[in-house]
Amino acid sequence: MKSRLTALIASLALGSSLVFVGAGIATAAPATGAGPAGRGVCATEAAARKAGATVDTLRAFGDCEINRRFTTLTKLSSKISASKVMTSADAAALQSEIGSTTSGLTSLKATIDAETSIPALKLDIVKIAADYRVYLLVVPQVNLVNASDAALAAQTRFATVNTNLAARIAAARAAGKDTTTAQADLDAMNAAVTAAANLASPLPAQLLPLTPAQYNGGTAGPILANARTALVQARNDLKSGVADAKACRVALKALK
């Protein structure tokens, strides 16, 4: 008896060591926050332009700002291509928008490179941000549409979970068990998933048509902000759904 107890203690010690290892693997590598090419990329060119606005300094600044947008647009395009949740229609619409933005900026860069007038160059530089709104419109559009489609993809996965748990509840009920708690948890899961899907499903259609002109006119900003708020709520609903599914399983196990 004593030997079994000691062996058990030893195995528990080893087991807990392995748990620590698992936790270490899960938390060791920090998430990298590498976003698109940042504002600081063109700090040198910006400083040179401020020190003296010549054709060369303005042109260098404009080219740098356009190039960092190219970098961002390339990353966005890769993100869309790599997305496992984005619908093909949404991906096509966003890739098209990225293509036209890239094309427009390429044309603007050619204009800037050929420009010899300082006032004209200053106007061209303003257009880099105002006419394309890469960071304030295109980046949020891609990310919010991707999040919307992910929330809708989660609904499909939850349907499988629902099938799984409903079968277990039916089996328990057939065995004469009281499945009231488990069924309530499953109902709560389905309600949470439906709420999330209702929040997410209209968003791509609202987000995709937004234009830089709408952003400049003040109408696109609130739509982006509202979409983000809705998706935060949808994510929280989906989290609740996961918790409800787990609670349902616990309730079913308690019946055995």
Partner 1 sequence: MNRQVSSIARLAAAALLVGVAVIGCARHDGAGPGQPTGPTQTTQSSQIDQSPPTLAATPTEGATVAPTATQVSTASPTQAQSVTASTTPAPAATPDPLDGQLSNINDLLNGINSSLSGSDAGTSGGE
Whether 195 and 237 have beta carbons less than 8 Å apart is answered as yes
- 10 vs 110, which CB is nearer to partner 1? 10
Q: Nearest Cα to 73, choosing from 36, 112, 111, 110?
A: 36
Residue in this structure with the two tokens 């800037």, named with its chain if needed:
112
Measured from the Cβ of residue 118, the count of other Cβ atoms closer than 10 Å reads 13
CA 38/CA 26 separation, integer angstroms: 29
By CB under 8 A, which span of 51-59, 89-97, 119-127, 238-246 interacts with partner 1?
A: 238-246
6 binds partner 1 (CB under 8 A): yes
Q: How far is the CB of 256 from partner 1 (least distance, A)?
A: 13
- 22 vs 119, which CB is nearer to partner 1? 22
Which residues within the stretch 31-50 sit at the binding site for partner 1 (CB under 8 A)? 31-33, 35-39
- 53 vs 242, which CB is nearer to partner 1? 242
Q: How far is the CB of 161 from partner 1 (least distance, A)?
A: 5
Which residues within the stretch 205-234 sit at the binding site for partner 1 (CB under 8 A)? 224, 228, 231-232, 234
DSSP characters over 126-172: HHHHHTT-IIIIIHHHHHHHHHHHHHHHHHHHHHHHHHHHHHHHHHH
What is the total count of residues that contact partner 1 (CB under 8 A)? 72
Q: How far is the CB of 1 from partner 1 (least distance, A)?
A: 8
Sketch the per residue contact string, 140 through 169, with partner 1: x for CB under 8 A, - otherwise: x-xxx-xx--xx-xx--xx-xx--xx----
26 binds partner 1 (CB under 8 A): yes
Q: How far is the CB of 242 from partner 1 (least distance, A)?
A: 6
Q: Where are the alpha helices (DSSP H) in the chain?
A: 2-28, 43-51, 55-82, 88-114, 118-130, 139-174, 180-200, 203-207, 212-216, 220-254
Whether 198 and 190 have beta carbons less than 8 Å apart is answered as no
Please tell me the total number of residues recorded for the chain in this structure. 256
55 binds partner 1 (CB under 8 A): no
